Amino acid sequence: MKGKSSQTFAKTDEVIHPVKLFDDGKARHFQFKTGDGTLIKYFVLKSSDGVIRAAFDACDVCWRSGKGYFQEGDNMVCRNCGRRFASVKVNEVKGGCNPAPLMRKVEGENLVIQAKDILEGRQYFDFNKRS
């Protein structure tokens, strides 16, 4: 199952997504393009406990594969190793093959992610450093 991805460009210091976009509980994948053309991938979903969560589409273990995650029911599944992660654990558990957390906050009807926080995930998408 392959999800759709939207490209995001920050014209300011933050990226804003309408909260209602995530009401259906389906993970949405986004790409943030840096000044040098690196695409930093992340996903956002509303977990089964009603919390909107965000994570990089990569982990500490499998990032070199460049495969990321897909959603299966209430789980995000690593496309490389097949490990499954409950939606309620996204942003809560980090390290290993867990989706790398991405800071976010809900402000009114919008989900706000700081561009600086997205840029911190660059390490997972700089494939020139693959070994």
Could you give all domains of the chain from N- to C-terminal order, each with its CATH number?
A: 5-129 (2.102.10.10)
pLDDT band at residue 73, thresholds of 50, 70 and 90?
Answer: very high
Closest CA to 3 of 81, 101, 76, 58: 76
Cα 118 to Cα 8, 35, 43, 60, 73: the distances in Å are 11, 13, 11, 16, 26
Q: Report which residue type is found at 4.
A: K
pTM for the full predicted model: 0.87
Q: Are 71 and 84 in contact (CB under 8 A)?
A: no
pLDDT confidence band for 3 (50 / 70 / 90)? very low
Cα gap 102→121, rounded to integer Å? 8
Q: Is the dihedral of CA 117, 64, 36, 17 positive or negative?
A: negative
Of the pLDDT bands very low, low, confident and very high (cuts 50, 70, 90), residue 9 is very low
